[in-house]
Amino acid sequence: MKALVWHDRGDVRVDTVPDPSIRDRTDVIIKVTTSGLCGSDLHLYEVLGPFLDAGDILGHEPMGIVQEVGSEVRNVRPGDRVVVPFNISCGTCFMCKQGLQSQCETTQVHEYGSGASLFGYTKLYGQVPGGQAEYLRVPFGNTLPIAVPPEPQDDRFVYLSDVLPTAWQAVEYAAIPPGGSVAVLGLGPIGDMSTRIAAHRGAGKVIGIDLVPERLDRVGARGAHTLNLEEYDGDAIVEAVRDLTGGRGPDSVIDAVGMEAHGATAAKAAQQLTTLLPDRLAARIMRRVGVDRLSALHLAISLVRRGGTISVSGVYGGMTDPLPLLTMFDKQIQLRMGQANVWRWVDDILPLLTDADPLGVDTFATHHLPLDRAPDAYAMFQKKQDGAVKVLFNP
């Protein structure tokens, strides 16, 4: 089959690789019909190379048609249409029963002290072959795949794999009071969808902050207040947000940016330095003394009102990140974060995936491309070119 594989930093290619096969009696093989390109994939493209091997298959946002099932699979059968959550969870352990599928005790990666395994996402999370491919092996066939109707188009449902539950959890964790205010930092796929979900769930004022004009226009067209970060120096952006929130600051802030924020020169240099080291040494350094670019998180701390809540959905990976704990304590900030627990939110989200389309999922993708174009798409998305917000591959 064809699959998008990692070769080196900034070097991903579509190669011919062996087809997946049934390994366990509860495995399922799906023919991938659509797979998304996630902002988290750019961390593999740029930063997390020490935890990848050449030939690793990328991608964690797939859906498709069941082709083959193991002998003990009862809940899906060949021909069924399913979405595959990005976190690999058994559905039956203590953590899964608490709604913490991202911490599944069956698939935790104990070697690295990590939570549940993820599709297509480094040794830190199990080094499981991903879904930017023609076919995908899916474990836990009775509990992991999300069955969806045979119609309409994939765009209606594919975001159940990651974007929708991640954004839903970001808003849930933000604890926006009824009619309250929220600022969303970073208007990529998760930030964009977070603004939509926050408005749908009753936020009185939604403020989107980014520095890409096309992304700001896209979010503004759906009614959010937008601020272009490049138009403000120093603390001026903080004052602008306070002006929009009665001088107090927003009740909640969602950081949808993560480790690769703009404006953190020293941390960026430290990240890039690791790419010059042998992989084993670089991995060891990143796990022990890694630092992130924390501009977005520091801005969130400055923006949120006293007693407010910060929800972090952007991926961070540093082990010695300095945080302004004095300010956080003094402002009595509540902070929630973590990988999305996909299945926890499915029942909340599925009723919204109707022809009424209140979240705009049917037109959410900016690009539909064949898998052969994946290397170009990674470069385009990384450089924020051509208005790219959400790219879907159709193998």
pLDDT digits (tens, 9 = 90+) for 342-357: 999 999 999 999 999 9
Quote the pLDDT of residue 262: 42
Query: What burial class does residue 65 get, using C-beta atoms within 10 Å of its C-beta: 0-12 exposed, 13-18 middle, 19+ buried?
Result: middle
Among 209-218, 278-287, 381-390, the minimum mean pLDDT is found in: 278-287
Query: What burial class does residue 153 get, using C-beta atoms within 10 Å of its C-beta: 0-12 exposed, 13-18 middle, 19+ buried?
Result: exposed
**Cα gap 387→213, rounded to integer Å:** 9
Average pLDDT over residues 191-196: 98
Q: For residue 138, how many C-alpha atoms fall within 13 Å in the half-sphere facing its CB?
A: 35
Quote the pLDDT of residue 316: 74
Average pLDDT over residues 244-261: 88
**Cα gap 308→213, rounded to integer Å:** 28
**Cα gap 301→309, rounded to integer Å:** 9
Please give the C-alpha separations between residue 254 and each of 131, 195, 303, 317, 331, in angstroms, as whole numbers.
28, 9, 11, 18, 17
Quote the pLDDT of residue 293: 67
**Encoding tokens for residue 35?**
């797979």
Quote the pLDDT of residue 322: 78
Residue 64 CB: number of other CB atoms within 10 A? 27
**Cα gap 261→185, rounded to integer Å:** 10
Residue 368: pLDDT above 50?
yes
- The label of the residue with tokens 């924390």 reads 294
More confident residue, 230 or 288: 230
**What pTM was estimated for this model as a whole?**
0.91
At residue 226, the 3 state secondary structure works out as strand
Query: What burial class does residue 346 get, using C-beta atoms within 10 Å of its C-beta: 0-12 exposed, 13-18 middle, 19+ buried?
Result: middle
Establish whether the linkage from the previous residue to 178 is cis, with ω within 30° of 0: no
